[in-house]
Amino acid sequence: MSDTHTGVTVPVPVPADADCPIREVLDIVGDKWSVLIVVLLGQSTYRFTELNRAIEGISQRMLTRTLRILVRDGLVTRTPHATVPPRVDYALTDLGRTLLEPLTALNTWAGAHRDDIAAARRRHDTAEEAAAQ
Amino acid sequence: MSDTHTGVTVPVPVPADADCPIREVLDIVGDKWSVLIVVLLGQSTYRFTELNRAIEGISQRMLTRTLRILVRDGLVTRTPHATVPPRVDYALTDLGRTLLEPLTALNTWAGAHRDDIAAARRRHDTAEEAAAQ
DNA sequence: CAGAATCCTTTCTGATACTG
DNA sequence: CAGTATCAGAAAGGATTCTG
């Protein structure tokens, strides 16, 4: 493969799903709720209903589903207690905690640049509006 | 709001979309292609067709669409050249480049823990299979 | 070449009702 | 309480065709 603007030959930079680490993270982190849950569990253990209340807008169905995936991926533990009424605690695993750091970096970035992004959008939208006239 | 297992009152940790930085990043980064494009453009400028070829599996439609959003968010520049045949170069803005660092952190994490995740999945799936018997 | 437009399929998500 | 099951709507994504 030849790179038109540099003349340099480059390898395929983003291979198909299986063997691309970037796509793997996205599979874990790229959905609507996983990150939110991981960040919350980074603060303390939560039980099902607590998570449901803490994450505004999540449905019971999606919470169940997402937790399952996180447990399967080894990021979260699920520990049921044989009490009445039943109680299930969710917490991060050691692996899950290692994810906290890069996520925090992303979160920090968002906080630092949200204004820039908002400004860029305004610029873009008004410029586009002007072009439409 | 009272935290059942600690007895401590906590604020709502994950507010609705508008004012939550985490959700904002996810809006940018949480889709199937944006990160891939940003990472590629972190290496050099690309033109449309180059991106299309470099990102295995992306459709023309999705590439166009995603690039538009990235441009609107001020992360990517689009510079058309009035040549025949036409040519459009895409590159990161300064803002876009700042995103590279947290993304790299995430990528590094993925590389470092992909085996752990794969192992967790195997454990989980075989345990589940055993339970099904 | 770099898209735009259209159509169609798949996936995701929320609402609702039910259960151990 | 902590889910499961079912259904319907929304959204995302892909394939194809067409154009400046």
Helix (H, G, I), strand (E, B) or coil at B74: coil
pLDDT over threshold 70, residue A106: yes
pLDDT computed for residue B9 by the predictor: 39
Q: Which nucleotide is nearest to B48 (CA to C1')?
A: C2
Percentage of chain B with pLDDT > 90? 73
Give per-residue pLDDT as tens, A5-60: 443 444 456 665 457 888 889 999 989 999 999 999 999 999 999 999 999 999 99
Q: Which nucleotide is nearest to A60 (CA to C1')?
A: D3
Percentage of chain B with pLDDT > 70? 84
Q: Which among A45, A56, A119 has the least Cβ separation from residue B12?
A: A56
Band (pLDDT 50/70/90 cuts) for residue A133 is: low
| Angle, helix B94-132 to helix B34-41, in steps of 10 degrees | 130
Whether omega for the bond prior to residue B85 falls within 30 degrees of 0, making it cis, is: yes
pLDDT over threshold 70, residue B119: yes
The answer to whether A9 faces chain B, any CB pair under 8 Å, is no
Interface test with B, best of A106, A121, A122 (most B CBs within 10 A): A106
pTM above threshold 0.85: yes
CB within 8 Å of chain B, chain A residues 10-29: 12-17, 21-26, 28-29
Q: Do A47 and B98 touch (CB under 8 A)?
A: no
Contacts B78 to A, Cβ<8 Å? none
pLDDT over threshold 50, residue B2: no
pLDDT over threshold 70, residue B131: yes
Stretch B73-88: mean pLDDT:
96
Q: In what order do the strands lie in the sheet with B46-47?
A: B46-47, B87-92, B76-81
Stretch B39-62: mean pLDDT:
96
pLDDT computed for residue B77 by the predictor: 98
Percentage of chain A with pLDDT > 70? 85
Query: Is the Cβ–Cβ distance between B14 and A55 less than 8 Å?
Result: yes
